[in-house]
Every structure is written in C-alpha cells, then in structure tokens.
A and B are shown apart, each in its own frame.
Chain A
Amino acid sequence: MNAMPVRTVGVVGAGVMGAELAQVLAAAGYDVSLIDRTPESLQRAKRAVVNAQRCSILLGGRGAASRTKSGEISYSTSVETALANADFVIENVTERWSVKSELYPVLDRVCPEHAVLAANTSTIPVRRLAECTRRPSQVLGLHFMNPASLTRAVELVVTPDTSTACIATATDVLSALQKKWVVVHDSPGFVSNRVLMLTINEAVAVLADGVASAESIDELFRSCFGHKMGPLETADLIGLDTVLLSLESLEEAYGAKFAPCALLRSFVAAGKYGQKSGAGFYAYEV
C-alpha cells in the first residue's frame, strides 16, 4: 500500500522535544501546527523554536533545512482547530497514561480520517494508545531521541494493527527529516528505554551506595565502553522527571526490577531535573 502525502504536521505537546521537532519539521518543508495547553507554554515554545533554529544554523545545517523551503509554524492551544487539516500528528505530551489516554480519543475525533497518529512515547505501549482510537491501523510509535535535530535514527514502533501504508507514510516523513529508522515491535519501553532506563536506575543506585562518584561512573562508560556520554549525564540530558516517569511506567509493566531508586525520587522531588533546571547529578548554568 502507498504512503499518504503529508503536507501539514501537527505536533501536540510543546516542551523541549515538541519545540525542537516543530523546528526540524518546518526546516524540512512541512507546515507545522504546534499545540500546547496554555498560552504561557506556547510563548516558551516560540522562544524555544527560535533558539532551535539558531542552533540548527550553528550546528551546520545538519537537518534538512538547507535544500528545502521552510514550512510555516503556527501555534495554538486548541487541538480542534489546529489539527483540522493535519495529515500527520506527532504526540509528545507528558509520559503519563492518564494524560495520553484522554488525548487520543480527542485526536481521533478532530483529525482528518486519513491522518496518521504517531506517538512519541518512550515507554507506553503504542497498542494501548491505538485502542483509544477508531483508527488503530493508522497509529504507530516514533520514538525520537533528544536532541531531535541531531540524532540520526528514530525507533519506529509497530503494533500488529499498524498498516503498511501507515508505516510507509511515517518513513517518508523520516526520510524528509534525513533520519534513519529502526523498526521494533510494540512492548513497554520498546528496546531503547527498556535497556537504557535500567542502566540509568542502576547507575543512580551505585551513586547512592557510595561505590563511585557521578564523574567516575560516567567516565567508565565513556572511556571503557566508548559511549559518548555516561548514564548519569544522559539522565541529566533526558530530564530526571522524565526518567522517573519512564521507570514508573516500566515498573508497572515489568515489576520491581524497574523500581525507581530513592535517590532519583529525591532529586525530582527537589526540582532537580537535570540540564533543563540547572541541576541534576551535575550543576549547570541556566
């Protein structure tokens, strides 16, 4: 089956990831509707988009921007009006089932019949989200990694119901963004986060046990394994609040081996979310 042509992309959730995705999509020539709940969050998103555009210029136009006429980005607090013409929707709202399960029936109601719904979820099974709609064959997962403008590949999650046309539409969009993709089957945490979150959680436990400092833990992964970043600095980049939500979701699916470390909970309770808040396992100037 053939891919659907995509001209307008809706991005629901204008946090760090949503704003950066909007910029990347517009740079690739798509018209983008960026949606969040409050005018304040959209104001923050506008600044984030401008800054993402500046980063894109600085980091060498590695996105698809340079050869394509940029699309327009419009901002809205209303999914009803903003998604009426969307061909493709990428959902990036908070990684919490109660939030997503309320949103998907609304997306299903307001989007055109042909529109594909792509969940940019990191742990929640895509099939559960698809079952909240009347179009399960047009729902898949696109797990973009942070920073979305620079990572080369996307984890593409398919359910037993996902149609070949839906997959073809999604891979056309990814190709336009100059992204590769790796197809995996639907499962809580998929591949990347099921493995990564366990590693991060254990690294936090090692730190809490006093076995090594944060610097030493990360240095081992960089120097011995050749990773670009260690698990704790990766957690700071992802956001410790997101890491905690992901672990809670994985614990629900797989049991106690994903139980979040108490030290991680205390960081999040203290508002230490990592790079975005200026403090996490390391200090950052904001």
Chain B
Amino acid sequence: MPMKSDSTIDRVDEADSRVRQYVAQMTRNPRLGLDDDIFQAGVNSLFAMRLILFLEQTFQIQIENEDLEWEHFRTVRSLGRLVERKLRAPAEGHDDGTH
C-alpha cells in the first residue's frame, strides 16, 4: 500500500462524522443514522448543490461528473466512502516508492 500523509489519514477518519454532522444540521435530523436516506424528506436541488460544495471545500476534493451517482449520495456512509476514495486517489496516483 502507498503511504498516506498523516493529514490525509485524519481527514479520512473524520469523513463519516463530519459529513453526518453537516447533513444532520441541514436536514434538521439530529438522530440521522449512517445508513438513513438523507433525501427521504424530499429532493431539494439547493441542498444537493450545497452538499457537493461542502464535500469539495471541507475535504479539498474535486467531485467529477462521474462521481455524481445517486448511490454515492444516498447515505452518510456512502458519502464517507466517496470522500475516502477521493482522498486516497491522489496518494495512489503519486506513489513515491516509500512502501
């Protein structure tokens, strides 16, 4: 496995909780679970847009058009997985041979 920087590890580890905190506030559902459908109260394009921008700004990642799959955005857990994959991708793409 390629080495990851400590900051990347921290951000991967906190992805689920940070995403959960954001979505819970935006949907005003403090009991939001990791596998709850976050759009169950109805689909709102303004919220969807905010969510994309939140992920990009908070985790310094770029959400590409091919990432915009409904399944990636349905729950906190699936969002956490998307963030984790995006955070790990640059490290794997720039293998410096330290492993």
Pick out which of these stretches binds chain B: A32-40, A48-56, A71-79, A186-194.
A48-56
B12 contact set on A, CB distance < 8 A: none
> Residue A259 at the B interface, CB < 8 A?
no
Is A51 a contact partner of B68 (Cβ separation < 8 A)? no
Is B44 a contact partner of A237 (Cβ separation < 8 A)? yes
Q: Which of A150, A228, A229, A285 contacts B50 (CB 8 A)?
A: A285
A52 contact set on B, CB distance < 8 A: 45, 49
Interface size on A, residues (CB 8 A): 27
Please classify the interface of chain B as helix (H, G, I), strand (E, B), loop, or mixed, using the class held by over half of its residues. helix
A52-B45, A54-B52, A59-B45 known; A283 and B65 CB under 8 Å?
A: no
Which residue of chain A has its CB nearest to the CB of B25?
A: A285
A54-B52, A215-B28, A285-B25 known; A59 and B46 CB under 8 Å?
A: no
Contact with A along B56-99 (1 / 0, CB 8 A): 00000001010011100100000000000000000000000000
A286 contact set on B, CB distance < 8 A: 50
Chain B contact residues, CB within 8 Å of chain A: 22, 25-26, 28, 41-50, 52-54, 63, 65, 68-70, 73
Sorted nearest first, the 8 A-B pairs with minimum C-beta distance are A147-B45, A58-B68, A228-B42, A57-B68, A55-B45, A55-B48, A51-B49, A55-B49
Chain A contact residues, CB within 8 Å of chain B: 16, 20, 51-52, 54-55, 57-60, 146-147, 149-150, 215, 222, 228-229, 233, 237, 275-276, 282-286
